[in-house]
Amino acid sequence: MLVLATISFVTFKWVLIPIRTQGSSMLPTYGPGELKLVNRLAYQSQLPARGDVVAIQMAGPHVLYVKRVIGLPGERVSVSQGLVQINGQALQEPYVRNRKPWDVPEVTLGTGEYFVIGDNRGMAAGEHDFGRVELDRILGKVVF
Amino acid sequence: MSVPRVAAVVAIVAAIGAAIWFVRKPADEPTLVRQRLDSFADLINKSTVDGAGMAARAAELSAYLTEDVEVEFGVGSPPIRGRETIVGMADRLQPRTAAFRLRFEDVMVALKPTGDAASVHLTAEIIRRSITTGEESLDAREFSLEMRRVGGDWKIARVTAVQTLKQAP
């Protein structure tokens, strides 16, 4: 029993972190109030990939952004009329249902920089937090 | 009394002593800074609960800010300077618009070598309650604070919003 409790404690404290989603920026993939797990070891041996949903820490690990990686280090990212462009090519995003005509000027991502955005593009761009983030802010990959 | 029994009694007394020391020991400066910020959040939250807004608590709010306090919300927002300006702005907040709760998470305090100033990095959570539906929504923002000890109290001297996700090139 003690071993099981210890394993559970270690797992949910340092490996699979339980989180509860808030807000609507990841709709329709994740809605508010859903319980998810963040795999903190996901990027120990590999780097985040395009399409991964990641947890990004603010001042610490207790309040996190949940966003999707769309741009990788060194790439040029822009949004034109709601369509994401990577190095000038439109990105296929089957997880996006509604799009408002967002326009985001092109940025070139630096070393260790990723561009993250929520799946809900039906909301106004001004109400949606998205942008560039350093790798060391990415706590892990959202799974389950 | 046998030796093992004496050892057990000594261990229990030592454990009780350690517990009492832990509970009653004077708080260190980082803890005092955290407590001060929690108390500041409590003051803001009280004003949103009792319906009086910040107007009734302007004087109390002043006690948490240095006279030359500066607040920078980032790109597109001009900095707000001076305690009187901030208290004046809070004073104009109407109770009905103040349906929110403020909470600080992940408060990290770094004391300056002089001991009378500290850098604080935290996440501020604002839980808004819709007046019409009662539904709650959460917004979180990262901030960097400079705090100074003035007359024995820790006061907020500078607040800078941190852009967790950067948009500008």
Nearest CA to CA, how far is A18 from chain B (Å)? 17
Query: Does residue B10 lie in a domain region?
Result: no
In the prediction, which pLDDT does B4 show?
82
Query: Does residue B137 lie in a domain region?
Result: yes
Please state, in angstroms and rounded to a whole number, the distance separating the CA atoms of residues A44 and A48.
10
Query: Does residue B65 lie in a domain region?
Result: yes
Query: Does residue B132 lie in a domain region?
Result: yes
A142 or B136, which is more confident: A142
What's the ipTM?
0.84
Q: What is the pTM of this model?
A: 0.82
Assess whether the previous peptide bond of B26 is cis (omega < 30° from 0): no
CATH number at residue B73: 3.10.450.50
Query: Does residue B3 lie in a domain region?
Result: no
What is the phi/psi pair of residue B140, to 5°? -130, 140
Can you give the residue range of the structural domain that contains B41?
28-161
Contact between residue B79 and residue B68 where contact means Cβ atoms under 8 Å apart: no
Query: Does residue B133 lie in a domain region?
Result: yes
Name the 3-class secondary structure at A4. Answer: helix
Residues of A in contact with B101 (CB under 8 A): none
Nearest CA to CA, how far is B100 from chain A (Å)? 16
Confidence of residue B48 (pLDDT cuts 50, 70, 90): low
- Residues of A noted as catalytic: 25, 67
Q: Does B130 touch chain A (CB under 8 A)?
A: no
User: What's the domain count of chain B?
Assistant: 1
What is the phi/psi pair of residue A14, to 5°? -120, -15
Low-confidence spans in chain A with pLDDT less than 50: none
Residues of A in contact with B126 (CB under 8 A): none
Contact between residue A125 and residue A102 where contact means Cβ atoms under 8 Å apart: yes
